[in-house]
Amino acid sequence: MELSVLDVLLFIVATIITIWFYFQNSYRYWDKRQVPYLKPVFPYGNSTTLLQKDSLPAGEVYNWYNELKNKGHQFGGVWSFSRPVFVVLDPEYIKDILTKDFHHFVNREIYCNEKHDPLGTNLFNIEEQSWKLLRQKLTPTFTSGKMKMMFKSIVDCSDNMIKFLEKKSDADEDIDIREVLASFTSDVIGNVAFGVESNSFDDSKNDIRKYGKEIFETFDLLLLLRIAAQRICPNISKKLGIKSMPDRMIEFFSNLVKTTMEYRTKNNITRPDFLQLLIDMHQEGETSEKYVNFDQIVANTLLFFIAGFDTSSTTMTFTLYELARCPDIQEKTRQEIQKVLSKHENKLTYEALQEMTYLQQVVDEAMRIWPPLITLGRICTRDYRLRDSDIVIEKGTPVVISTLGLGRDPRYYADPEKFDPERFSSEEKNKRHPYIHIPFGEGPRNCIGLRFGLMQSKIGIIRILTNFRIHISTKTKMPLTVDPSIFLLKSNETLYLKAEKM
Ligand code: HEM
């Protein structure tokens, strides 16, 4: 049977009309459930940031937070394309979802395909029982004892950064501080996750740094299409078997782990790092409950690298930005550091770090304004009735929380743009709901690397502040603004600093 042009045209029109009806039906979802909502636009729903050039959807949740807040709501419904999404604003509801009723919200809605992409199946992505088991196995890797063991490696890695900054200071050159800190954290995580002694300051094109850049800084149309497909029909996109990263990247990291494992086993070498802890678990054998297989080792060392290096360098970048803008606070922080160090024979030790309480306030305040992960997400895994209401969040509904929105909400922080570490004194902290400041997430699925992330960020800041006075270069366009196009926080402007030797 031959089809005429008219048949084809009729088919296309019928398909468009069917899709349109499907979307319109979905756009009645929140109204039917008496949940306040933001008006959607066909076919994007409320994901209109996707319309912006070079834009991924990270910033949209912040916009949803503000729009719902301005209408006086504590929660609300939106649509990502045709898919209903639940946005939570109120800290007490956030506490229910992340902690108290966690068993209804165990998973994240992240693309994860165990069959086709074993290396994408890491702790961040996997679900339910598999997640629970792996989290139990990996938790002992992040105890304070293990952090103490890795402390010296991090301090040693910071030497190269200080040497680099000294050269820049002598030449009176501007410093792209984000790039410097990304090199430092890339060296640290390369060292503790893969056992590689890299120096990104001498060899800025080394492979670990190169792939790190690629993971976070490459915009790719395929990725954008995949996100759109996932949101409209997550089950179908899962079955397509697309991998989470390019084959050559997977191959590079698998080979790196394989070679290091073989070398250590053959030469009977052990090192104080994450990789060693995973190798030890692997060597316990399949019958042990601690056992992790080779793919799990690669997937999770890679995850530590991805989750650990950009988040920490972002924390340091924005802390230094605020300290450079506020010389008095910079001086106060330096004085505390020097006072504590003098009590510890001028040695930077794990114990000395724990005593620097003002530094912790400074980092908290920087993460309030600039949380490295601006959105937290969960997927409802069992129907859930919202406290004191008849509203039921149905199984399969994505739930999102804006850490950026909470941190900049004037209801919680007067003059939210102002950098003021006093907001995190114990007295001030006690006045606020604890779920307003959650830069590491909360509940059983919070950041497993919190201790490590804070430790390496503080070490970087201490090393810089004890060697240099920092200033904003005139080359920096101020004030910095948030780039909504990527998953992790970044500013639209490059932050250039000047470092003055002390
Ligand atoms: C300052 C640095 C860091 C920040 C701000 C940060 C922030 C976060 C946030 C917000 C989450 C999501 C939590 C939630 O959904 O409730 C997370 C999860 C995670 N982070 Fe971090 N992170 C940092 C450093 C690290 C480091 C250094 C590592 C590893 C070495 C790491 C590994 C992970 C992992 C594995 C998860 C997923 C946990 C799970 O699903 O069980 N993070 N992080």
Sign of the four-CA dihedral 123, 313, 330, 477: negative
447 is written with which tokens? 């950041």
Ligand 1 atom showing the smallest separation from residue 457 Cα: 1
Ligand 1 and 449: CB distance under 6 A: yes
Residue 36's contacts (CB-CB under 8 Å, 6 or more residues apart) are: 30, 68, 71, 73, 75, 76, 77
Phi, psi (rounded to 5 degrees) for 201: -80, -25
DSSP summary character for residue 393: E
Q: 235-261 as b/e, with b when 16 or more CB fall inside 10 Å?
A: eebbeeebebbeeebbeebbebbeebb
Label residues 435-448 b or e (16+ Cβ within 10 Å = b).
bbbbbbbbbebebb
Closest protein CA for atom 36 of ligand 1? 447
Q: State the residue for tokens 């980092």.
A: 363
Least confident range of 228-242, 254-268, 417-431: 228-242
Q: For residue 28, name the pLDDT band (cuts at 50, 70, 90).
A: very high
Question: What confidence tier does 325 reach under pLDDT thresholds 50, 70, 90?
Answer: very high
Q: Is 440 in the pocket of ligand 1 (CB under 6 A)?
A: yes
Provide the whole-model pTM: 0.91
Query: What number does the ligand 1 atom closest to the CA of 371 have?
Result: 5
CA distance 111 to 464: 38
The pLDDT value given to residue 407: 97
Mutate to test the pocket of ligand 1, among 311, 368, 451 (most ligand atoms within 8 A of CB): 311
60 contacts 377 by C-beta, under 8 angstroms: no
Measuring from atom 19 of ligand 1, which residue has the nearest CA?
447
Residue 495 has pLDDT above 90, yes or no: yes
d(CA 137, CA 399): 27
Q: What pLDDT, on a 0 to 100 scale, did the predictor assign at position 49? A: 64
* pLDDT of amino acid 238: 56
CB distance 193 to ligand 1 below 6 Å: no
pLDDT in tens, 97-140: 999 999 999 998 765 566 666 666 678 878 888 899 889 988 98
Q: How far is the CA of 244 from the centre of ligand 1 (A)?
A: 18
Residue 55: pLDDT band (50, 70, 90) is: very low
* pLDDT score, position 479: 85
Task: Please give the pLDDT value at position 235.
Answer: 58
What count of residues does the chain have? 502
Give the per-residue pLDDT at 466: 98
Nearest C-alpha to atom 42 of ligand 1 is from which residue? 449
- Binding residue positions for heme: 447
CA-CA distance, 154 to 135, in Å (whole number)?
24
Number of helices (H) and strands (E), helices first, in the chain?
Answer: 19, 9
381 lines ligand 1 (CB under 6 A): no
CA distance linking residue 52 with residue 50, whole number of Å: 5
pLDDT, mean of residues 195-217:
72
Q: What is the mean pLDDT of residues 441-467?
A: 97
Res. 468 pLDDT band, cuts 50 70 90: very high
DSSP 484: T
Residue 451 Cβ < 6 Å to ligand 1:
no
Of all residues in the chain, the percent with pLDDT exceeding 70 is 87
Name the band, by pLDDT with cuts 50, 70 and 90, for residue 53: very low
pLDDT at 218 over 70: no
Could you identify the residue written with the tokens 């949101």? 231
The letter for the amino acid at 236 is I
The mean per-residue pLDDT over the stretch 255-284 comes to 88
Q: Apex CA 198: angle with CA 146 and CA 272, to 5°?
A: 20
For residue 98, which atom of ligand 1 is closest to its CA?
Answer: 16
pLDDT at residue 120, as a whole number: 65
pLDDT in tens, 396-438: 999 999 999 999 999 999 999 999 999 999 999 999 999 999 9
| Domains located in the chain, CATH noted | 5-501 (1.10.630.10)
Alpha-carbon distance 318 to 314, whole Å?
A: 6
**Mean pLDDT in the chain?**
88
The CA 13 to ligand 1 mean position distance, Å, reads 46
Residue 83 β-bridge partners: 80
> Look-up: residue for tokens 């006093």?
422
Quickly state the pLDDT bin for 57 (edges 50, 70, 90).
Answer: very low
Q: Which residues contribute to the annotated binding site? A: 447
* pLDDT higher at 490 or 341: 341
